[in-house]
Chains A and B, each alone.
Chain A
Amino acid sequence: MSTPPSADDQFYREYILDHYKNPRNYGRLEHPDISHEEDNPLCGDVVGMDFRIKDGVIDDVRFHGRGCAISQASASLLTERLKGIPLDDAKKINKDDVLGELGIEISPARIKCALLPLKVLKVGAYGLAGEDEE
């Protein structure tokens, strides 16, 4: 986890807002090898991911969706981490990794937002309905 730069807001830190407003790897891939979308029925957040896999490695990844700053920034941060790593390594990413990457204190009410992108990755990577990541 990188140390966040000093920001005036302890929750909506500058890098979170930056990922929200300027999401990395945003969009769709043509002919993805894996494509999956999940929503959070509580608040209507949606996150989907497309993956291109070459020799077991994530060659490219894009995410799309809409929702709060936390779900969208979490998705953006996750795609940065996923690009270029073996799919098997991606499968091992857990919720502590994701929360660590976000680097903020997440309340129980918002944890589903933060972990929605991870759920997309897991269900997409395993090709089946995954366990609840909460």
Chain B
Amino acid sequence: MYDVKAVRRDFPIFDNGLAYLDSANTSQRPRQVTGAMMEYFEKFNSNIHRAAYHIAEEATDRYEATREKIRAFINAASTKEIIYTRGTTEAINLVAYSWGRANVKPGDLIVLTILDHHSNIVPWQILATANGANIEYVDIDDRGELRQDQFRELLEKQPKLVSFSHVSNALGTINPVHEMVAAAKAAGATVLVDGAQGAPHQRVDVRDLGCDFYAFSGHKMLGPTGAGILYGRRELLEAMDPFLAGGDMIKTVRVDGTTYHDLPWKFEAGTQAIAEVIGLGAAVDYLDGLGMDNVLAHEREVTEYAYETLSDIEGLTLFGPPPSRRAGVISFALDGIHPHDLATIADRDQVCLRAGHHCAMPLMTRLGVPATARASFYVYTLKDEVDRLAGSIKEAQRIFK
């Protein structure tokens, strides 16, 4: 039995009655995560991979231990395939730069989707401009689900790269990743899955998925900001040039050339976010302790409750698919009330709600709205918080009547 009240006790931020409904933006962190970071700062703060004294060995061990935890978390074949980045954005940029510049040729096609976050659009636009490639987007149907028929048509054009989100951050749509990856691989494409809203919320098995790259952020899965992950298939990573260059990513540097370090360190230049990576390891431990299947089940229960509760409110339009095919994200609009005004009114009730375009302006344009209000849920969300949101919505409707 999943005990959400017990989970909440690990999150001091909830001690004063905050209703936090913006976890798709960034999650909260439990004491276990901040504690692991504090332990590093107070007991073995030092740089990794460089020093011979014992606290540096401890720091290095803890930093590298996270890599194994992440490997197991997504069932990658080797820790060589787990690259630390600052987050999903940097992970995608790494691929766009290191893999893209070398492999995408003039006239090549890149397939993205209208559901994608700006961080899975803009790096490819820059690459396409630099290398003379073209981009096409898979559209959505009226329920906010990707049009698979159109996706198959685009695959017939043999795209060089297919990149799409596991779960839409703006609508919560869970894309059929297995089928889409398999179809794209069969068409000969290299495939990146933007897992920023995937890995934090459900069990992910990258080998079962079969994608070439999978990117996600630590701060959306109870970890701190500044630590994220790029998973890449080893053959691809081995063949790629470094992204950032500098200290720690080299074996030898001579005045006439450099030998790069082995995987995964080839992609980790400069002093890393050590405390953050250690914190991310604690976050994975925490999620493993809860069990990702339990996490998914809890979120689904809250999402179904929220979907029903909000559906009952007059003048409220819900975007996206039914709860059975969506993650813990609900985007909606109110007649005559701009999302920002709703968010301001909710804030007075200590309800944190996102209002805006959610870094998905092409999707907002497609939906024909300038912005939506968005509530998103995670391991600690209570149905009571959904009721409080409904209360704030009714208060907004009363003010704007």
12 A-B residue pairings within 8 Å (CB atoms): A11-B344, A12-B399, A43-B339, A43-B340, A44-B357, A45-B370, A67-B338, A68-B338, A68-B339, A69-B338, A70-B340, A113-B340
A43 touches B357 (CB 8 A): yes
B371 touches A17 (CB 8 A): no
Chain A proximity of B333: nearest CB distance (Å) = 12
Binding site for B on A (CB under 8 A): 9, 11-12, 17, 21, 42-46, 66-70, 107, 109-110, 113
B341 contacts partner chain A, Cβ-Cβ < 8 Å: yes
B322 contacts partner chain A, Cβ-Cβ < 8 Å: no
Please measure, in the bound complex, the distance between the C-alpha atom of A50 and the C-alpha atom of B345, giving whole angstroms: 32
Interface centre among B336, B338, B399 (most CB of A within 10 A): B338
Given known A42-B356, A46-B370, contact A68–B340 (CB-CB < 8 A): yes
Given known A11-B344, A44-B364, A113-B340, contact A66–B400 (CB-CB < 8 A): no
Chain B residue nearest in CB terms to A9:
B399
**Residue A12 contacts which of B339, B341, B355, B356 (CB distance < 8 angstroms)?**
B341
Please measure, in the bound complex, the distance between the C-alpha atom of A9 and the C-alpha atom of B370, giving whole angstroms: 26
**Residue A68 contacts which of B341, B361, B399 (CB distance < 8 angstroms)?**
B341
Chain A proximity of B350: nearest CB distance (Å) = 15
Please measure, in the bound complex, the distance between the C-alpha atom of A97 and the C-alpha atom of B338, giving whole angstroms: 25
Chain A residue nearest in CB terms to B361:
A44
* B344 proximity list for chain A (CB < 8 A): 11, 107, 109-110
CB neighbors of A among B327-376 (8 A): 336, 338-341, 344-345, 355-357, 361, 364, 370-371
Please measure, in the bound complex, the distance between the C-alpha atom of A107 and the C-alpha atom of B399, giving whole angstroms: 19
Please measure, in the bound complex, the distance between the C-alpha atom of A98 and the C-alpha atom of B355, giving whole angstroms: 24
**Residue A67 contacts which of B336, B364, B370 (CB distance < 8 angstroms)?**
B370
B12-34 interface mask toward A, CB cutoff 8 Å, 1 = contact, 0 = none? 00000000000000000000000
Chain B residue nearest in CB terms to A69:
B341
Given known A44-B364, A46-B370, contact A110–B399 (CB-CB < 8 A): no
B399 touches A44 (CB 8 A): no
Chain A proximity of B179: nearest CB distance (Å) = 33
Chain B proximity of A8: nearest CB distance (Å) = 8
Chain B proximity of A104: nearest CB distance (Å) = 11
Chain A residue nearest in CB terms to B372:
A44
B356 touches A70 (CB 8 A): no
